[in-house]
Structure 1
Amino acid sequence: MKLTIILAPYDSGLYHSGFGQGPDAIIAGGLVDELALRGHDVVVEDIGEVGDAQRREIATGFAVCRAVATKVELARDDERFPIVLTGNCLTAAGAVAGDAADSIIWIDQHGDLNTPETSAYGFLDGMALATTLGLCWRPMAATIPGFQAIDPSRCMLVDARDLDPDEKRLLDTLPVIRTQCADALDSVGRLKAAGAVQAHLHLDLDVHDPHLLQVNRYTQPGGPSPDQLRRLVCGLARSIPIAGVTLSAYDPAFDAKGEVPPVVGQLLGDFLAARERI
């Protein structure tokens, strides 16, 4: 398969800082070699430095989305499957736009469903899914080439074990499909019934059980093992067309033994093998 791996090495507007070091660490950990050994034609593209000189978080966050949307669309024009490695979950809004996805599978320990009105800390990345669903930051999202908000009924939220009270209240009003990793494949039919034709797969790596794989400082107890998550994404690849993938939130400073990159390589390798079989 022809693949384009797109690097968006930003964390909260900062280039190559915190989570922004994750994409390069995954590449240095052997991802390209792993996928090439499996027979894939792999190209790596880096969006480089974007945004303004002040590196304002909101402006830079959406500049990253715009750059990613353009890179993803170019990959698709070249009939290459896009995989985005990014620091922040907000980048998924750009990937969704470039994919022209009509639905999203959001696998994350967090809901990322805060809005400026409900966020206690003003953390932009905590509004990532809300932005992708068109619930906030609409003028900024409209600057992303090709962006169309995903209808909440065509969103599957997997795990989300760490929700703020306002996120729980919001979810009570939305037709988002809530599920856990063990039951997610049983919910794909509901996603299709809502009109999903091609989905974007978003993986926040902190969904993993931190006792088995520590990816950053925000992880809470619970979540799937690497094997459970890998089996889930392979099942999703066989169950619904996936237009593209984002992987986010890996901070190598919390992975002293370098355990995360090999896990990512195996996960993506097995996911792509499952996708090729459909």
Structure 2
Amino acid sequence: MRLIEVPYDSGNRAVRMGAGPPALIEAGAVRELRAQGHQVIERLVEAPAWRAEVRTAFELQRLVAVEAAAALDAGHVPLLLSGNCNTTLGMLSALTAARRRVGLVWLDAHGDFNTPDTDASGFLDGQGLAMAVGRCWTALTSTVLPEDRVLLAGARSLDPAEESALRGSAVAWLPPGHVRDGTSLRRAVETLAGRVDIVHLHVDLDVHDPSIAPANSYAAPDGLSADEVRQVARQVAARAPIASATLASYDPAYDPHGRMAHTAVALLTLLAGLARSPVGEARP
């Protein structure tokens, strides 16, 4: 496993959700992976000294792409711990570089499907999934996934314009109730698996219900249980190879008792066990 740690939130180091990756390491992420028998190589990604939200976000994506590509070339599985969701674009860039049909399963309380034209808040990280499918920031992104290779699971807190765009897209969206419906989840995963060679599994930790503990300040009610999130991962792994994964958006300030950190570390070890190197998975 190559564990890529990106402790930034909106260009700021180790604050808010940027404090999440080191907090998860402190909570035992590396220790538990090694206890499960995994070899773990840790890589800390540092942004350039001159920082601004947009510039830094895309530079971090580039640096993550370099780290993930090196992991894949070595036959390792890249796992990302990130403050912001949009950093996952670096992982997708590395996966798509080798002519593989890449699928994306994105678990999140939010759609992350805003664009600069629809997002009145101007929050870049609310645009991560829209970036991944080429709806915005196309001059700065090198990776565009077809929308029908994306499954959004657990999203329940969306802006009106964002929801309208999502419903008009080819992205498969399963709100929490549909995730809990085993038939809907199975059909969505089977459809995705038929279109891809490998999958990146992205988990914004606020997909979990805040009754466990709020993952961050954006936590929303009616989320998935830890068991339900793990079941999504198992369903995906049973039908398509998970080549890499992300855990993102953990703010330890909202988790004073460490319950979400414990949940996240347990999920990370599960994902490490389910994932496998994509060497040999490419199709001509």
Same fold by TM-score, threshold 0.5 exceeded? yes
Asked whether the 8 Å contact 1:111–1:167 carries over to 2, the reply is yes
In structure 2, which of residues 156, 161, 166 is the aligned counterpart of residue 171 of structure 1? 166
Tell me which residue corresponds to 1:78.
Answer: 74
Could you tell me which residue of structure 1 aligns to residue 87 of structure 2?
Answer: 91
* Structure 2 unaligned residues grouped into runs of 5+: 277-284
1:10 corresponds to: 8
2:191 matched to which residue of 1? 190
Match of 2:65 among 65, 69, 73: 69
Q: 2:218 is paired with a residue of what secondary structure?
A: coil
Cα drift, residue 132 of structure 1: 0.6
TM-score (norm 2): 0.90
Deviations 1:129-166 (A, max 9, x none): 00011110001113xxxxx3000011101111011111
Contact 1:72–1:95 at 8 Å: present in 2 too?
yes
2:264 paired with 1:264:
yes
Distance (Å, rounded) in 1 between the aligned partners of 2:126 and 2:48 = 20
**What are the equivalent positions in structure 2 for 1:227-238 lying under 5 Å apart?**
227-238=227-238
Structure 1 letter corresponding to 2:211 = H
Q: Percent identity?
A: 36
Which residue in 1 is equivalent to 2:149? Answer: 154
Alpha carbons 2:213, 2:254 under 8 Å: kept:
no
Contact 1:237 1:271 in 2 (8 A): no
Check conservation: 1:108, 1:159, Cα contact below 8 A.
yes
How many residues of Structure 1 are paired with residues of Structure 2 in the alignment?
266
CA separation in 2, counterparts of 1:271 and 1:27? 16
Looking at structure 1, the residues matched to 241 and 231 of structure 2 have their Cα atoms a distance apart, in angstroms, of: 16
8 A contact 2:4–2:64 mirrored in 1: yes
Which ranges of structure 1 fall in alignment gaps of 5 or more residues?
143-147
Tell me the distance in 1 between the aligned counterparts of 2:164 and 2:172: 15
Kindly provide the amino acid, as one letter, of the partner of residue 271 in structure 2. Answer: F
Using the TM superposition, name which of 104-113 and 184-193 deviates more.
Answer: 184-193
Secondary structure of the 1:160 match is coil
**C-alpha separation between the residues in 2 aligned to 1:17 and 1:274?**
31
CA RMSD of aligned residues (A): 1.4
Confirm whether residue 129 of structure 1 aligns to residue 124 of structure 2. Answer: no
TM-score after normalising by structure 1:
0.92
CA distance in structure 2 between the aligned counterparts of 1:164 and 1:187, rounded to whole angstroms: 24
| 2:217 is equivalent to residue 217 of structure 1 | yes
Q: CA deviation at 1:244?
A: 0.6
- Write the mapping of 1:86-125 to structure 2, written as runs, cut at 5 A: 86-100=82-96, 102-125=102-125
